[in-house]
Structure 1
Amino acid sequence: MKTNMLGLPVKESGVIADELNTLLANFQVYYQNLRGIHWNIRGKRFFDLHVKFEELYNDAQLKIDLIAERILTIGGKPLHTFEDYIKENQLEIGKNISEDVKAVHLVVSSLTGLLKIERPILAKSAEINDEGTNSMISDFIVDQEKTIWMMNAWLEESL
């Protein structure tokens, strides 16, 4: 079996890099959704949500960079065009969302969609002892699950 400079199998690392590229594209869409709801949010909860969405998009931006660097580390090339992002996207695209409940629902559905992409990557990276990818994805999942829980708690209050 041929291995890369990290000692990971080349073929399997290529598959993981491809799946990380799908995750990268979807994170870019998530990031843009967050920017849009940050800019357009209106209403009595504006101040709280405006700040929260900024916190989330800053976090997403950091994760986007981590994903791209991991793709490079394991021997792949990160996607970097909007054309590629849209082609790989599996998330709802939020357009002109200014209402608080709709915005929070978009965050929850986006994070749920990201988890669906991440869990198979986690399983595949574990199979080849790719601890770098495994650790990164595991950390993402923990953060996203907590954010989903918090957003759902907020949604219960707003009903």
Structure 2
Amino acid sequence: MMKKFLFLLCALISLSCFAQAPQSPGAAPDVKPTILDPVANKRVAEISSQLRCLVCQNQSIADSNAELAIDLKNQVVKQIAAGKTNEQIIDFMVERYGDFVLYNPPFKLSTLLLWVGPALFFVFALAALFWTLIKRKQQKAKPLTAEEKARAEALLKGTKSNTKKGAV
């Protein structure tokens, strides 16, 4: 009876997980700027490759299928249709989302951590590793006392030694 109950409970939990599963990233609709000419489509691709997906953070909006990336691509399409230049579109995105939206942000004080952060993390990790290794090397094993040696020999021989009270 208990096995059946546990089986049904597991099945119910499993089915509820599938019911709550988000849509796969590949199923997200893609931007299709069909109203634009080939030159404008090329500009959309060029600008989209310069802007970072704020959800994925490791992809440009041209490569991402996230909903926000699709919205940003649609915004680029609208601004191109409105006659804005590439620089104006990128400036608009930077004004709205900050320098982080640029796939290659400029090197300035506000983006210093983006550029120097990984190198600093690597240096601190190496320093911690070396410090740990040096501390380990400095720790020396204490030599055994005569009593501990006798006890170890007795244990190796399989006999009990006469040890002081409390020792096993």
Q: Shorter-normalised TM-score: what interval?
A: under 0.3
Is the radius of gyration larger for structure 1 or structure 2? 2
Larger helix fraction of residues: 1
Length-normalised TM-score, structure 2? 0.27
With CA pairs under 8 Å and 6+ residues apart, which has the higher RCO, 1 or 2?
1
Length-normalised TM-score, structure 1? 0.28
